[in-house]
Amino acid sequence: MSSQLVILGASSATPTSNRNPSAQLLNIHERYFLIDCGEGTQMQLRKFKLRFAKINHIFISHLHGDHYLGLLGFLSSLHLLGRTIELHLYCHPPLKEIIDVQLKHSETTLRYTIVYHFYDKKATEVLFEDDKVKVETILLNHRVPCRGFLFTEKPGLLSIKKDKIEYYKIQVKEIHAIKCGEDFVTAEGKTIANHYLTWPANKPVSYAYCSDTCYDERILESIKDVDTLYHEATFMQSMQKRAKETYHSTAKEAATIALKANAKKLIIGHFSARYSDLNPLLEEAKAVFENTELAEEGKVIKF
């Protein structure tokens, strides 16, 4: 995947002196997806020198403030910066009402159009799809309706061997068909098998974002064999009772989900403000699932 993920925020509930609420920017083949937009997100985008104008799709997991309170400011800044192209916003229906009220009472008419995509109430669904990537919802178990997101790269084209182009005098107009898997027929009528002319395409990879959720194995079907999994880890296992009461997960539980899903990598985040040192959460998760990383602000994860 020609992609990278930038962590913009990974704090739960409230900002701290060194952690902002949830927000991530995912770039897949130059498609820029903003995932959640907690307070201060646009400042983080500036801090890490990420361009506002490239973001055309925003996914809001649910309507707790630490996941969307930065959105109004971000939308306003896009307006003030002169954006005119439409912006696609994927969300629960009440978010439109919240935005409309803000715009109404500030007497603001955006220069651009927000195209709303509302989640299905009960089923997983495809939110976005083009020739490079597909985005699907993951049903999460939280106090309010909440969605995770599965980003899956589409299979790429085969790579043609340059020496074969010259040897068989393959024309430019014929290269695309070969990259798509077709055999080549020479001017003399001889058929050259595709596998002899090409290298395999890079294996498509996937990223799953599971924000606020209690431990729930029902998500395993959606995230099975995912390459990189982000899963909230608000508490340590010593506070499992509190995690269950608030429909959150512990670091151990996040790691257990990663293990059972056969994920290749786990990123834990959405940390409670009570933890100034995150290493104990990391150690707890790694004891179950070794390939675990912390969602630290500014961290860039390449796929």
Catalytic residue annotation = 66
Q: How far apart are CA 117 and CA 111, in angstroms?
A: 19
Q: 227-262 in b/e burial notation, b at 16+ Cβ within 10 A?
A: bbbbbbbbbbbebbeebeebbbbbbbbbbbbbeebe
C-alpha to C-alpha distances, 194 to 7, 22, 72, 168, 178, nearest whole angstrom: 41, 46, 52, 13, 7
Q: How far apart are CA 87 and CA 103, in angstroms?
A: 16
Q: Please give the sequence-ordered ranges of beta strands (E in DSSP) within the chain, or none if there are none.
A: 3-9, 23-28, 31-37, 55-59, 87-91, 114-118, 126-129, 133-139, 147-153, 159-160, 184-185, 191-192, 198-199, 206-210, 228-232, 265-269, 292-294, 300-302
Neighbours of 86 (CB within 10 A): 11
Instruction: List phi, psi (to 5°) of 120.
Output: -65, 140
User: CA 207 from chain center: how many Å?
Assistant: 6
Q: Is 47 helix (H, G, I), strand (E, B) or coil?
A: helix
**Tokens 């299905």 -> residue:** 120
Q: How far apart are CA 111 and CA 86, in angstroms?
A: 9
User: CA 170 from chain center: how many Å?
Assistant: 40
